[in-house]
A and B are shown apart, each in its own frame.
Chain A
Amino acid sequence: MSEKVLMKGNEALAEAAIMAGCKHYFGYPITPQTEVAAYMAKKMPKTEGGVFLQAESEIAAINMVIGVASTGKRVMTSSSSPGISLKSEGISYLAGCDLPALIINVQRGGPGLGGIQPSQSDYFQATKGGGHGDFHLLVLAPNSVQEMVDMVFKGFDLAEKYRMPAMILSDGTMGQMMEPVSLEKGVVNEYDKSWALTGTKGERKPNIVNSLYIAPEELEKLNFERYERYKKIEAEEALYEEYLMDDAEICIVAYGVASRVAKNAIDQARAEGIKVGMIRPITLWPFPKKVLSEAADKVNKFISVELSMGQMIEDIELAIRCKKEVLLCNRTGGMITTTEDVLNKIYEANGGKN
């Protein structure tokens, strides 16, 4: 174990990316993610070959990401909700060009310019594409500063393994919260990058990175191929954590900061004798459908705890084929669900206190 340091979630994301060998960061300031860019500005120039560039806009930043990703180099950008909307054209192009990159979204309340306080209301945007066309992003949702570090390594690894963009879906609380963290180097495996634009030196045919296909047969074929890859990811890469699920009669599903609040409520409810547990998705896409579907045969009710107006709840209902009722416990717009909110919803699912 390396000695622990005290870090903000945003700083941990930046430090982990540098540790993972990312030498290119392009960004634009926006609350509550600015510390990612600020940390990169201080540290990246001191890293050998490191480039920090504050672009003139979010759109410019994501297009710089496309450029570096085309050469097979590790690259990252970060923003918060409105900025991610601006980047969404470029994100679709990354997917269309089959390019790996890591995108951080430190969510704030929306829609529109919204607010600066934490939110999880970009769930649909992140998990259902995040731009036009048939595609998916890998979506990772850490719930501690330590897990932020781990997910940066995981994000780069999966992105390069499957040649697609990955997103870390954080939020204002996770970005601003300070926790002790052990900066251990994770693993990013080496994958074939013979597709990258590295110069032919006259020795091979040029590689082409492109997302424009006028011939519909060709475009359809590429989309079919991409979705074969997505099937494999759904089968093999879903990550989740189970908490007190062995004898649970009520199953809470929550990710990120909401899962921390939910855990406190579960502990209190357990102390009162209510059998409640949690399945915490760590990947939101692929969504941990299998474990939820199995849980549906054991528990009586589900509760989706989320800081949005009922977005993840749709994926839960789909995963369990609506076998059991799913209650919603939510706040939005920058407000955070309290332990009491969740506890009251547990009582409701339980048909009252025990």
Chain B
Amino acid sequence: MDSRGIKRITIFSGHYGSGKTNVAVNYALWLRQHREKVSIADLDIVNPYFRTKDSMAVLTERGVELISSEYANSNVDVPALPAETYGVIQNKEISAVIDVGGDDRGALALGRYSEAIKEDGDYELLFVINKFRPLTRNADMTLEIMAEIEHACHMKFTAIVNDSNIGDETTAEDILSSVAYANEVSEKAGIPIKMTTVKKDLYEELSDKIENLMPIELYVRQSWAERNE
């Protein structure tokens, strides 16, 4: 990944379950290698089961500040937004990564900050897509979700993150087969593909075949999700 295109604020949004939180965590850790002050803000008020806060240890260890609702993973079941979010949006010293909740419902929370973000101007809003999710199987279905999100957050996507994967079973062929899909989304939406993500063990095999390939690790995972055959 090229560090020249880094904006001060990078926002990850997309269809529910496409892997936004994990991509955002990976991106924040990568960004920390290029920027001194990196904060990641968890705006996911939709799903209380998978949150950025689950990755707190690795973020803290590698010098990324985590901003999440003080009620996340606690006994208080309220969809509260972290108070410090405005701080990282307005403080030009900080490189901010914003992890938005899934679908239009999740993107409503981003709408709360859209004026301030647009006013700042130095941002990108990334659309995370996964062709192996049942409601984003093809470009047209994906564009439908995209329009719903843009409507909810009062912002336009600036680029695409192709995070197509089928969990543990993802093969190099799966990733290669998603390129045409991502290209079609990109063409129809009129925005470029910022990066294609791939789990680390497939990176070498694919690095000369796909542009802007970003190796990622799975940080957001619960122990009970371990598979056994």
* Residue ranges of A at the interface with B (Cβ–Cβ < 8 Å): 4-8, 11, 15, 31-32, 35, 38-39, 42-43, 116, 118, 172-173, 176-180, 183, 257, 260-261, 263-264, 267, 336, 338
A-B Cβ contacts below 8 A, count: 65
Distance in Å from the Cβ of B218 to the closest Cβ of chain A?
Answer: 11
Q: Which residues of A contact B225 (CB under 8 A)?
A: 173, 177-178
Flag B1-44 by CB within 8 Å of A: 1 or 0 each: 00000000000000011000000000000000000000000000
Interface check B154, CB cutoff 8 A: no
Q: Is the CB of A264 within 8 A of B130?
A: no
| Additional 8 contacts, C-beta under 8 A, given A5-B132, A179-B227, A260-B226 | A4-B169, A6-B132, A6-B166, A11-B134, A31-B77, A116-B77, A176-B49, A336-B224
Task: Write out the residue numbers on chain B whose beta carbons fall within 8 Å of the beta carbon of A178.
Answer: 17, 167, 225
Query: Are A261 and B227 in touch, CB under 8 angstroms?
Result: no
Most chain B beta-carbon neighbours within 10 Å: one of A32, A35, A118 = A35
Cβ of A7 and Cβ of B77 under 8 Å apart? no
Chief secondary structure at chain B's binding surface: loop
Residues on A with C-beta less than 8 A from B168 are 180
Per the CB 8 Å criterion, the residue count for chain B at the interface is 25
Q: Which residues of B contact A (CB under 8 A)?
A: 16-17, 47-50, 77, 130, 132-135, 137, 165-169, 222-228
- A263 and B228 in contact, given A11-B134, A31-B48 (Cβ under 8 angstroms): yes
Which residues in B have their C-beta under 8 angstroms from that of A260?
224, 226-228
Q: How far is the CA of A38 from the CA of B166 in the complex (A)?
A: 21
Pair A180/B228 contact, Cβ less than 8 Å: no
Are B134 and A5 closer than 8 Å at their CB atoms? yes
Contact status A267-B135, CB under 8 Å:
no
Complex interface: chain B residues within 8 A of A263 (CB)? 228
Complex CA gap A6/B47 in Å reads 17
- Of the residues A6, A32, A261, contact of B224 by C-beta under 8 Å: A261
